[in-house]
A and B are shown apart, each in its own frame.
Chain A
């Protein structure tokens, strides 16, 4: 059983590594679109925990 578990977790880590590498290969414009989407998701959550710094706002540009 422990061997199965370790094989299983190795497979999960391998899949994660492949996923990260695939994300790295996305076109630059798509990566910047993701970055700006992350900013739009995160900054309201951060604002609940602490005041945002004046420059902390989603980038107001098209990727």
Chain B
């Protein structure tokens, strides 16, 4: 990154996420939300990049501000902060500490994609759909169906995931 914004690239953002993992700022991460959906389905509108994180054990020392280590690291790197978003190379990134068993599983089973020569950890499509159905709401249900219709989903695996996490939803054999 430079001060003029020249040379900023999305690959650079993904490289920064990997750097955070290597330096143990986070124990592990997986891109989630609409940006993750884009890896498997058609692009849809989103204005930020959600990143699910598992925190290193010492981060639990501050249960009221578990993400404080991430923000401190970002400030030290010169990244701006806008509310809860860290501005990494011009992209607002929202870090979300894994808040339930499904999110934890989404991080540990993330798929590694290649983006312009950079490895990037992305939530698997079945987990994205399950998370959308678990969260509920019309927009998220639509996101889940978008994934199912894209053909990227293993419907059997999604059904098993939903059952294991007790999420009520019917997945037909053919949408």
Interface residues of A (CB under 8 A from B): 17, 20-21, 23-24, 26, 28-29, 31-32, 34-35, 38-39, 42-43, 53-57, 59-63
Contact = CB atoms under 8 A, between A and B. Distances in A.
A61 B42 contact: no
A61 B16 CA distance: 14
Given A24-B40, A35-B38, 19 more contacts: A20-B41, A28-B113, A31-B42, A31-B43, A34-B43, A35-B35, A35-B43, A35-B45, A39-B45, A53-B83, A55-B47, A55-B85, A55-B92, A56-B92, A57-B47, A57-B92, A60-B89, A61-B12, A62-B8
A54 B87 CA distance: 11
Contact of B10 (A38, A43, A63): A63
Given A29-B116, A54-B82, A54-B83, A24 B150 contact: yes
Give chain A's interface secondary structure class.
helix
Interface of B: 5, 8-10, 12-13, 35, 38-48, 82-83, 85, 87, 89-92, 113, 115-116, 146, 149-152
Given A55-B83, A63-B10, A21 B38 contact: no
Contact of B149 (A20, A28, A31): A20
Contacts, number: 81
A28 B45 CA distance: 15
Given A20-B149, A60-B90, A43 B47 contact: yes
Contacts of B47: 39, 43, 55-57
B8 A60 contact: yes
Nearest to A19: B42
Contact of A61 (B9, B83, B85): B9
